[in-house]
Amino acid sequence: MLKAPKFWYQKKDTYLSNSFYPLSLLFRFGTKIRNFVSTKQNADLPIICVGNIVVGGAGKTPVALKIGKLLIKAGYNPHFISRGYSGKIKSSTLVQSWHSASSVGDESILLSEVAPTWIGGNRINSANLAQKKGSDCLILDDGFQNPTIKKDFSIIVINATQEFGNRRVMPSGPLRESIKRGLSRTHLVIVIGNTSEKIKKTIPIEIPIIEAKFEINKENKIFKGQNITAFAGIAYPEKFFQSLEEQGAKIVKKVSYPDHYIYNENDLLSLAEMANKTKSILVSTRKDYIRIPKSYRSLINTLEGEIIFNDEDSLVKMLSKVIEKKILNR
């Protein structure tokens, strides 16, 4: 579980980022060794990878969810494959309604609400099982840095607020790898928010950029003027807090937990007491809601919404071309 250090997203070098730089070099060296010794396998089905270069918080899962919906609308039968991060189950498993976040991971449960979702450490095995169940294309949620599976089309998601943080590799910064190395394997960049000149200069001209936004459901206008105790266990909770404030909410208390945090009864009792004292309502993310004990979910309101692409047609055409080409060459 990770709670992103604040210095990661400061635009200038700090004492901490400089202090951790030698460890960043070790991390990069370890990544090179892993890539060198790993054997890349090719699945029969086309694989569309939705990933990022920073550690969490960029918005890849909402983008993957929307792409799944678009492909279904276009007549395809996509399945999601995921590692099932933070879940106890490690073998390839189809996510079912009775699974919990602690068993298959929170993101996998969200994905399974849109299309069949497979979790497990062996992505190729999951891909083969998906094919047997009738899938004609796969969406790999995360896994961009996984060298063991070949991707047919790789999408990098960038949050315009975060961008690449201080542009340093972990633990000196939020990057999983250098920007140059990551972009060398990228076919499309999706920017959530407005693309800055700095991003435009960073992305090679041959890589297309599609802008997107996370549009809040109209029903969430009930938060306007409300006193709110907002809490989230995500990599970059500031985005969530900002979205609430943009809805006109009055946040009286902000509580952050580590990414993928599994809530327990004591956490919810503490939050309920906090809300009672401040005469506020409890609001969290949909991703957090899945990690809350079912007996306490009635106490929690969620900020709902989905990704909207500025050029949806171009994206669908791009992905359809990749899928049809792989199917024809099989």
Once rounded to an integer, what is the mean pLDDT over residues 224-242?
92
Burial of 134 (0-12, 13-18, 19+ CB in 10 A): exposed
> Looking at the structure, do residues 165 and 223 belong to the same domain, yes or no?
no
The pTM of the whole model exceeds 0.85: yes
Residue 116: the pLDDT is 98
Asked if the structure places residue 18 within a domain, the reply is: no
Asked if the structure places residue 275 within a domain, the reply is: yes
Asked if the structure places residue 12 within a domain, the reply is: no
Asked if the structure places residue 143 within a domain, the reply is: yes
From the list 211, 231, 124, the residue with the least C-alpha distance to 159 is 211
> Looking at the structure, do residues 320 and 177 belong to the same domain, yes or no?
yes
> Looking at the structure, do residues 166 and 222 belong to the same domain, yes or no?
no
> Looking at the structure, do residues 99 and 247 belong to the same domain, yes or no?
no
Asked if the structure places residue 3 within a domain, the reply is: no
Domain that holds residue 57: 35-214+308-329
Asked if the structure places residue 116 within a domain, the reply is: yes
> Looking at the structure, do residues 270 and 179 belong to the same domain, yes or no?
no
Provide the CATH number for the domain around residue 185: 3.40.50.300
> Looking at the structure, do residues 179 and 240 belong to the same domain, yes or no?
no
> Looking at the structure, do residues 50 and 120 belong to the same domain, yes or no?
yes
- pLDDT above 70 (res 2): no
Asked if the structure places residue 117 within a domain, the reply is: yes
The total number of structural domains in the chain stands at 2
How does pLDDT run across 44-78, given as a tens digit for each residue?
999 999 999 998 778 999 999 999 999 999 999 99
Residue 130: the pLDDT is 98
Instruction: Give the HSE-up count for residue 183: Cα atoms under 13 Å, Cβ half-sphere.
Output: 18
Once rounded to an integer, what is the mean pLDDT over residues 274-289?
96
The total of other beta-carbon atoms located within 10 Å of residue 288's CB is 24
Asked if the structure places residue 6 within a domain, the reply is: no
> Looking at the structure, do residues 112 and 227 belong to the same domain, yes or no?
no
> Looking at the structure, do residues 54 and 111 belong to the same domain, yes or no?
yes
Provide the CATH number for the domain around residue 225: 3.40.50
